Amino acid sequence: NAGVMQNPRHLVRRRGQEARLRCSPMKGHSHVYWYRQLPEEGLKFMVYLQKENIIDESGMPKERFSAEFPKEGPSILRIQQVVRGDSAAYFCASSLLPGQQETQYFGPGTRLLVL
């Protein structure tokens, strides 16, 4: 089991461009979480998805950010019209089941740099 995969590992975008971040959960996991880590800060929850459904997007900025987890393929976090403040590390995690006691397994992260 290769674990949670994220790509790309590093992404450079100019202001106004779109960024697409991909996350493939661990085999058999259908619960995906996205977190953002700004410089010098801890990880902050963004969105929780199950296959084809957004369950909780309370941590997602209201504009320019969207996430999906289609029936087939990876989960995608999309940032439209990026700004310098979007520069951060974006981590994806997956779990086998939902629930307070479930372990989340993290990917290596995507480092986004907006020029």
Interface residue with another protein, options 22, 68, 87, 106 (CB under 8 A): 106
Beta-strand runs (E) in 1-115: 5-7, 10-13, 19-24, 31-37, 43-50, 53-56, 65-68, 75-79, 88-95, 105-106, 110-114
102 binding another protein? (CB under 8 A): yes
- What is the CB-side half-sphere exposure of residue 5 using CA atoms within 13 A? 8
- Distance in Å, CB of 103 to another protein, minimum: 5
**Site pattern 14..53 for another protein (x: CB under 8 A):** -----------------x-x-x----xxxxxx--x-----
75 binding another protein? (CB under 8 A): no
Interface residue with another protein, options 28, 39, 85, 99 (CB under 8 A): 99
Give strand pairing partners of 50. Answer: 31, 53
